[in-house]
DNA sequence: AGCTAATCGAGACGGTACGTCTAGTCTTAAA
DNA sequence: TTTAAGACTAGACGTACCGTCTCGATTAGCT
């Protein structure tokens, strides 16, 4: 077998992503310029574009990186774990909320920009959905274990429940512009677990 | 004194908005180019910019126009009205989903772009939040009447419930990319009303 | 008739060409960067590209400008006017010779680059040939008047003669790399007028 | 001691030059991309660059190869040999004229590119001038023999004459864009030998 | 046979110029 | 003062190209 060519530098991904995260948080999506990312990472633009063919690809890679750092803990008490998990998601959103802000705009434009970026390219969208699928799978498992333990209803629509909880956070951040935090997470969990219908006496 | 000089053409707003809606649905947010909107509407760019100082302003105006067509019905049975209302929202989202799509990308990038657009300008954001606030107020009222009628719990966190229902739709469309429709709306309402916790025996 | 839009700024051509000439002479063809020309001229890049769609177009415009400054004088004595004219051409070539030189390279790369630039685009090539055609027409006229006056042979091949004289200058500058100046111009004229064949006695 | 390490493959030079000639004639100077030359020759870029440190070096090597095939014949009749020689040069130029042409551009950009290439690197320039010097030496010798034989004036400025003849060809091809061939060569020789001045009666 | 040193193949990398694209402003003449 | 038309500003973005570097795999001569 002949040589396979010069191998890719392993530290490039690391350095570029770090620089990109920095820039994204500093200046928001508009400020995430490939030129400057490359410069900060000490890498040629061509190298950057070889791995992320578009600014959007890079941006979504950043999200994936940030997302994958999140973990989930299962204490056996769903009423404790669920708010904790939601709070983590909220923290991520809040972090984006501060990104590149100049005034006092309460909405999280950067999150929206990233979703939009993903949607602009079929391949990126697929990648992004994978990232979220990984996260969601963990949460689904958490909920199912609670079902098995008898903490939650046996015929629970786990997917619907999870969408409701997470979705509420996103909706509030993206659309309503209201704050999300521990307190809100607990309200959500409480409302979802108890149910809205008047209890049968 | 006002009323000096040539008066504004009255039909411009209408024509431009129509052209903008067309373009937005045809080609998505990126395809909504001010130049082309102006051309389609048979109007000079100057004229357009005098009324909407930014592409983003125009875009949100388009959404407002689309949104305000939605109505809400109160039959007195919350288990019927709620899914109907969610379905309307879903229909709006699905419409955006088709905007400017070439392949089979399931996500609704255009919605995200619009949110991002709103976040880029404080006034646009405020305007957009108003649009949503109007819609939400109707839904809140609907829910509160159901509480008063005794269909829903007296101590219900109406805001949290509403966020969960609507948020789930947005989350699914924006992030997960899965379909939303009548069936999903019913799953949501069912899950939310019954509650996730195991029923006390 | 409706308005014809904002007219082109008249001073742009002037400013850009001046900046381009400066840069070309300072740093040679490679240093003639559209970005920098635009900056020096205080003009946006798009404006520049609207008029010269390519760096090559710009470069050739520069040559045209330089060339058209040359004039031709007709004193009635062809043995005086011809060397003078050739000297002017030589001066232009020598000016280019200094352009962007770092070391002691004797050849006139910039001239060659400009010819190459013209050849890369059919439209530019045509334009450039026009420029030269103008110059050549003047010289041809000069020679023909000398024929009429009886200074030159009645059956002279004016075109061939002119090509020989001018061509020798270009050849020397481009290929041989030897100096061209007044003395050389006179050698050329002398050789050409007397003829190479042994005189019939 | 030399001779250590793996020896260079002997057939590389040949193959690369052949590929380079092909490409140059097919697509002109711009199409002479080192990457593609290497690929066509079945050679790694490294290998290519070890021998020709620059695309320009390679290009000039190609020209040298093409040029050195030219020969010169001395029949003893300068009025026959000179046009023949010029025709050969013209043939070389015309060959370049076709290089990389798409439309009907009459100028020989490739020749200019090569001159420019030579001017970009002192060593390449020197090399190229050597190539031309060899050719010119032959022509000079031819002319001097004609002087000795009494066919040409004893005090002839051989250099000037040669520059005029060859230069006219280059000027026509590079600048004017007009055709060069046998007929033109004869016009040149005729004009140069007879002289332009009116013959003394 | 093993060691040494240079070449080869493949392809990533660096650097930089070039041209495109898009949003929004400005300048005319006409209405 | 608005409208139409279109030139203008500003800057990000991605591409193209050349030449360098880094691997692993060869291929010789020397010991």
Q: How far is the CA of A121 from the C1' of E10 (A)?
A: 31
Does residue D189 sit in the same domain as residue D92? yes
The answer to whether A40 CB is within 7 Å of strand E is no
CA distance A94 to chain B (A): 14
In a domain, D139, yes or no: yes
Please state whether at least 3 CB pairs lie below 8 Å between chains B and D. no
> Between the CA of residue B77 and those of B152, B157, B163, what are the distances in Å?
11, 19, 20
Q: How far is the CA of D1 from the C1' of F29 (A)?
A: 10
Return d(Cα A27, Cα D76) in angstroms, integer: 82
Q: Enter the DSSP assignment of B197.
A: B
* CB-CB under 8 Å, C118 with D113: no
* pLDDT greater than 80 at residue A69: no
Closest protein residue to F5 (Cα–C1'): C5
Residue-wise pLDDT for B135-190, tens only, equals 889 999 999 999 999 999 999 999 999 999 999 999 999 999 899 999 999 999 99
In this structure, chain A runs to a length of: 201
The answer to whether A4 CB is within 7 Å of strand E is yes
Does residue B81 sit in the same domain as residue B167? yes
Residue-wise pLDDT for B77-101, tens only, equals 999 999 999 999 999 899 888 766 6
The enclosing domain of C89 has a CATH number of 1.10.357.10
- pLDDT per residue, tens digit, chain C (201 aa), is 455 889 999 999 999 999 999 999 999 999 999 999 999 999 999 999 999 999 999 999 998 998 877 788 899 999 999 999 999 999 999 988 876 665 555 457 899 999 999 999 989 988 888 889 988 899 999 999 999 999 999 999 999 999 999 999 999 999 998 999 999 999 999 999 998 877 655
Q: What is the largest CA-CA distance in chain A?
A: 78
Closest protein residue to F19 (Cα–C1'): D54
Residue-wise pLDDT for D140-183, tens only, equals 999 999 999 999 999 999 999 999 999 999 999 999 989 999 99
In a domain, B201, yes or no: no
Q: How far is the CA of A36 from the C1' of E15 (A)?
A: 14
Does residue C79 sit in the same domain as residue C151? yes
The enclosing domain of D41 has a CATH number of 1.10.10.60
In a domain, A130, yes or no: yes
Say if residues A33 and A23 touch (Cβ distance below 8 Å).
Answer: yes
Question: Mean pLDDT, 10 residues at a time, over chain D (201 residues)?
Answer: 79 96 92 96 96 97 82 89 94 83 65 93 91 90 94 95 97 93 97 83 50
CA distance D120 to chain C (A): 7
The answer to whether A136 CB is within 7 Å of strand E is no
What is the structure's pLDDT at D186?
97
Residue B37 Cα to chain centre, angstroms: 21
CA distance C128 to chain D (A): 8
In DSSP notation, B47-104 reads HHHHH-SSHHHHHHHHHHHHHTT------S-HHHHHHHHHHHHHHHHHHHHTTT--S-
Return d(Cα D31, Cα D19) in angstroms, integer: 12
The nt closest to D56 (CA vs C1′) is: F18
Neighbours of chain C (3+ CB pairs under 8 A): D
From chain D, pick out residues whose CB is under 8 angstroms from the CB of C29: 116
In a domain, A40, yes or no: yes
The answer to whether C45 CB is within 7 Å of strand E is yes
Which of these, B162, B154, B187, B196, lies nearest to A193 by C-alpha position?
B196
What is the number of domains present in chain A?
A: 2
Does residue A79 sit in the same domain as residue A162? yes
Return d(Cα D52, Cα A98) in angstroms, integer: 54
In a domain, B127, yes or no: yes
What is the structure's pLDDT at D56?
97
Out of A103, A190, A196, the one facing B193 most closely (by C-beta) is A196
By three-state DSSP, how is residue A70 classified? coil
The nt closest to A42 (CA vs C1′) is: E14
- Residues B123-139 have a mean pLDDT of 89
Return d(Cα B67, Cα D111) in angstroms, integer: 66
In a domain, A90, yes or no: yes
Looking up tokens 């903008």 gives B20
Out of B150, B154, B191, the one facing A161 most closely (by C-beta) is B191
Share of chain A above pLDDT 70, in %: 93
For residues D117, C175, D124 and C101, what is the CA-based torsion angle, rounded to 10 degrees? -70
Full residue range of the structural domain in which residue A15 is found: 11-63
Does residue D76 sit in the same domain as residue D55? no
The answer to whether C14 CB is within 7 Å of strand E is no
Q: How far is the CA of A2 from the C1' of F26 (A)?
A: 10
Q: Enter the DSSP assignment of C157.
A: -
* pLDDT greater than 50 at residue B1: no
Among candidate residues D46, D64, D82, the one where a domain is terminated: D64
Does residue B152 sit in the same domain as residue B87? yes
What is the structure's pLDDT at B64?
87
Does residue C119 sit in the same domain as residue C180? yes
Kindly indicate the confidence band of residue A97, based on its pLDDT and cuts at 50, 70 and 90.
Answer: confident
Does residue C152 sit in the same domain as residue C119? yes
Does residue A115 sit in the same domain as residue A173? yes
CA distance C165 to chain D (A): 6
Does residue C161 sit in the same domain as residue C85? yes
> Between the CA of residue C74 and those of C85, C133, C141, what are the distances in Å?
10, 19, 10
Does residue C157 sit in the same domain as residue C91? yes
The answer to whether D33 CB is within 7 Å of strand E is no
Q: How far is the CA of B47 from the C1' of E31 (A)?
A: 14
In a domain, A108, yes or no: yes
The answer to whether B4 CB is within 7 Å of strand E is no
In a domain, D2, yes or no: no
Return d(Cα A2, Cα C111) in angstroms, integer: 46
Q: Which nucleotides of F are covered by protein (CB under 7 A)?
A: 1-30
Does residue D158 sit in the same domain as residue D132? yes
Return d(Cα B99, Cα B120) in angstroms, integer: 21
Return d(Cα D43, Cα B62) in angstroms, integer: 59
């Amino acid at each position: 077998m002949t040589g396979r060519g010069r191998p890719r530098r392993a530290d490039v991904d690391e350095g570029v992503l770090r620089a990109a995260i920095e820039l994204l948080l500093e200046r928001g999506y508009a400020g995430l310029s490939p030129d400057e990312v490359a410069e900060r990472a000490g890498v040629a633009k061509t190298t950057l574009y070889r791995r992320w063919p578009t600014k959007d690809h890079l941006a979504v890679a950043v999200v994936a990186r940030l997302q994958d750092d999140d973990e989930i803990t299962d204490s056996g008490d769903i009423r404790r774990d669920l708010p904790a998990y939601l709070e983590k998601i909220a923290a991520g959103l809040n972090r984006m909320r501060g990104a590149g802000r100049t005034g006092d705009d309460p909405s999280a434009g950067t999150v929206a920009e990233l979703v939009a970026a993903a949607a602009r390219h079929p391949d990126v969208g697929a990648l992004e959905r994978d990232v979220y699928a990984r996260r969601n799978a963990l949460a689904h498992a958490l909920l199912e274990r609670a079902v098995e333990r008898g903490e939650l209803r046996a015929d629970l629509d786990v997917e619907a429940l999870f969408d409701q909880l997470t979705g509420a956070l996103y909706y509030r951040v993206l659309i309503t512009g209201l704050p999300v935090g521990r307190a809100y997470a607990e309200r959500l969990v409480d409302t979802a677990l108890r149910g809205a219908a008047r209890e049968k006496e």
